[in-house]
Copies of this chain bind each other. A is one copy, B any other.
Amino acid sequence: MEIAHPYLLFLGDVHDNLAAKTALGIVDWRRDWCLGQIRLPGCEADCGLPDLTPAQAADQGTKTFVIGCVNPGGILPEHWVNSIVEALESGLDVASGLHMRLEEVPAIRDAAQRTGRRLFNVRQNNETFKTGSGAKRTGKRLLTVGTDCSVGKKYTALAMERGMNEAGFDASFCATGQTGVFISGRGIALDAVVADFISGAAEWLSPPADDDHWHVVEGQGSLFHPSFAGVSLGLLHGSQPDAFVVCHEQGRELMRGVQTPVPSIREVIEGTLSMGRLTNPDIRCIGLSINTSAMDEADAKNYLARLSAEIHLPATDSVRFGVAPLVTRLQEEFGTPR
């Protein structure tokens, strides 16, 4: 799926920015793709964009109305439907990351048919995948992996894409989750793929490329998470990374949603190397990206320096201190781009 931008971001009437984190993620990374936002009465989220009606947004060149928020339960409330229909009638496509398909709402389905506009359900995949082949593809790949879910794998991949391109690499981000799909306009919500096709979908996502092209693949879950390790392993095998970055949140003790302890960074490096060699014998770890937000800046720098000395790899907080040490390491390992 290729979602056209610019976007108009719909925030509904959600009660905080957390419920609008998809919209905020899009603004963080693609501010220039976003012309405005729509907030219903009672909305307490704010992306800092101009408030526009669908008609105003269309006049300014908007292509897609993006549902950038989620209400409790993840379903589409009745009172959001009018805004969606209005967007379609103003000539916009509509994109959603909800679990349900937009077509399931008759008023939306009818409006899309009437206007000929497209409905994108990024949590669903219309694409038919093959099972993974395990065959080595041309081009290079970097994957972000995690000690847990929600430790900055998407952020780190996007920051690496930007940092690598600034350093002269030819890099492109590959989205594997819904927010990433909106940020890049394409990709796959990998957790919604049928189990048999996880690695095949990951192969499809980062196809053969020029020898010095880097696909920077957004990781999912953790090889050590009892709910999602299967997705993480299929993604590792299918993306066959040449390089990976381990993402971690300093101080987190239990993995999200379960009672299982967070694995050590060393375990994640060893496990990723050992399992990743199946489809890329030359896989290597190029560094760590750590969320240190619970520490003050001096403590964070000390902690990262200690960790780096211990693991013999660069360690940074990508949000706080940027990804330059990781990009430098990549240059050292794989050569400076021409």
Show the binding face of A for B, using Cβ within 8 Å: 131-135, 190-196, 198-200, 224, 226-235, 237-238, 257-260, 275, 278-279
Q: Report the bound CA distance from A190 to B249 in whole Å.
A: 32
User: A280 to chain B: closest CB distance in Å?
Assistant: 10
Q: Is the CB of B200 within 8 A of A195?
A: no
**Which B residues are CB-close (under 8 A) to A198?**
195, 230-231
**Which B residues are CB-close (under 8 A) to A259?**
133-135
Q: Is the CB of B134 within 8 A of A258?
A: yes
A-B contact pairs, 12 of them (CB 8 A): A132-B258, A134-B258, A192-B195, A196-B227, A196-B228, A196-B231, A198-B230, A199-B228, A200-B227, A229-B234, A233-B233, A260-B278
User: A55 to chain B: closest CB distance in Å?
Assistant: 38
Name the residue of chain B whose CB is nearest to the CB of A226. B134
Q: Is the CB of B194 within 8 A of A194?
A: yes
Q: Is the CB of B190 within 8 A of A229?
A: no
Q: Is the CB of A132 within 8 A of B227?
A: yes
**Which B residues are CB-close (under 8 A) to A260?**
134, 278-279
Q: Is the CB of A279 within 8 A of B133?
A: no
**Which B residues are CB-close (under 8 A) to A235?**
230
Contacts A194-B195, A278-B260 known; A234 to B224 CB distance under 8 Å? Answer: no
Q: Is the CB of A227 within 8 A of B133?
A: yes
* Pick from B133, B134, B227, B233: contact of A230, CB under 8 Å: B233
- Going nearest first, the 7 A-B pairs with the smallest beta carbon separation are A134-B226, A230-B234, A191-B196, A230-B230, A131-B227, A132-B227, A198-B230
Interface centre among A198, A234, A238, A260 (most CB of B within 10 A): A234
Q: Report the bound CA distance from A245 to B260 in whole Å.
A: 26
Q: Is the CB of B194 within 8 A of A224?
A: no
Q: Report the bound CA distance from A226 to B238 in whole Å.
A: 7
Q: Is the CB of B231 within 8 A of A226?
A: no
Q: Report the bound CA distance from A180 to B132 in whole Å.
A: 24
**Which B residues are CB-close (under 8 A) to A135?**
258-259
Q: Report the bound CA distance from A135 to B258 in whole Å.
A: 8
